[in-house]
A and B are shown apart, each in its own frame.
Chain A
Amino acid sequence: MLLYSIIFPIISIIAIVWFLFRYLNQKQSLLTVILWAIFWIIVSLFAIFPNFSNAFAKLFGITRGLDFIIILVFAVLVYTIFKLYNRVDKLRDDVNTLVKEIALKNEITLEEEE
């Protein structure tokens, strides 16, 4: 058995447990936990059974298992960036509302400057 066949499943277990803890602490939605769990399970399966990726690859019409893994990782990264972008955008809107409200509640007068 190769080293990565041991390391990746260990990382996967740690990641899934970490996501579960975050879900239990209400820091993560159930859907996100399920999606990440599926991702890490697939990573583990690919690590333990390298030929498994070939079966998946054929399923999607891709010739090599390694190509399938690269495409999968790329898709996950794109999804993650999209989610992060949306979250940053929402935070930016929240900050704007907050800054605007603070300004509106505090008209600057000459008395307070003196």
Chain B
Amino acid sequence: MAIEISKEDKDATYVVLPAYNEATRIQPVIDEIAEKGYNMVIVNDGSSDNTLDVVLESKRKYPDQIHIFSLTINRGVGIATQTGFDAVLRFNPKYVVSMDSDGQHSVDDLDNVLEPLVTGRAKAVIGVRPFKDMPFSRSFANGIMNLLTKIFYKVDVSDSQTGFRAITIDALKQITINARGYLISSEFIREVNDKNIPFEEVPIKTIYTPETQAKGTNVNEAIKILFQMIRHQF
């Protein structure tokens, strides 16, 4: 049973939501996060649908909790998350969380991933998805990615491709993220490990729908990430 996060800690927490063409899925995610009392930095990643309009509509409902930034052209989840991490610094938070905006992650897990940070057990957390809940193609690709992360980045984690992560502001200032796309997940873990930032894995729920399955690390993405990891060795 997770501890109850205090209002003070919730006020000092910002959730970064990178969003690319999520007009039909992002609204419930924002509503749930806002209802729980957390702040958000939403980065529209050059969406071609009306994601930005939907997000603005949410800002009308929760004007103080939502901050919106928009990339003029689609640059990938890595750049959108980096933008969110940079933007969040100006709000002087204590904790920063990033999660998917397509409803794949359960907002209820926010408290769980924050708990090790709030109690001081860790300074970074990755939310790990149970492989048994994943479709075979996804769990196969993620298994390969875990192996590659272990080989190239020397870190052994249960889910290297998770988009659900939390970090204290001090730790965030120590790490450098350069990844453009889905490599950001492995890069985040590598940076945390290289900088000797104490981190924990926290089990999270994953909600797979045909739409969310179309995104994320599939075999094509895994091949792209492999090339990027090889390149980073030189």
Q: Count CB-based A-B contacts (< 8 Å).
A: 47
User: Which of A30-38, A75-83, A97-105 is the interface stretch?
Assistant: A97-105
B180 at interface, CB cutoff 8 A: yes
Please count how many residues in chain A sit with their CB below 8 Å of the partner chain's CB atoms: 13
| Chain A residues whose CB sits within 8 angstroms of the CB of B75 once the complex forms | 95-96, 99-100
User: Which of A11-19, A42-50, A106-114 is the interface stretch?
Assistant: A106-114
Give A95 to B46 CA distance when docked, in angstroms. 13
| Chain B residues whose CB sits within 8 angstroms of the CB of A96 once the complex forms | 75, 79, 180
Looking at B46, B67, B68, B180, which has the most chain A CB atoms within 10 Å of its CB?
Answer: B68
B56 at interface, CB cutoff 8 A: yes
| Chain A residues whose CB sits within 8 angstroms of the CB of B46 once the complex forms | 99
Please count how many residues in chain B sit with their CB below 8 Å of the partner chain's CB atoms: 21
Q: SS class of chain B's interface: helix, strand, loop or mixed? A: mixed
Name the residue of chain B whose CB is nearest to the CB of A113: B56
| Chain B residues whose CB sits within 8 angstroms of the CB of A110 once the complex forms | 56, 59-60, 63
| Chain B residues whose CB sits within 8 angstroms of the CB of A100 once the complex forms | 71, 75, 79, 82-83, 86
- Supplied contacts A100-B79, A102-B71, A103-B72, 6 more A-B pairs, CB within 8 Å: A96-B75, A99-B75, A99-B79, A103-B83, A108-B68, A108-B70
Closest 9 CB pairs of A and B: A108-B68, A103-B69, A100-B83, A99-B71, A103-B71, A96-B79, A103-B83, A96-B75, A99-B75
A and B contact pairs by CB, cutoff 8 A, 20 listed: A95-B73, A95-B75, A96-B79, A99-B46, A99-B72, A99-B79, A100-B71, A100-B82, A100-B83, A103-B43, A103-B69, A103-B83, A104-B86, A106-B69, A106-B70, A107-B68, A107-B69, A108-B52, A108-B56, A108-B68
Chain B residues packing against A (C-beta within 8 Å):
43, 46, 52, 56, 59-60, 63, 67-73, 75, 79, 82-83, 86-87, 180
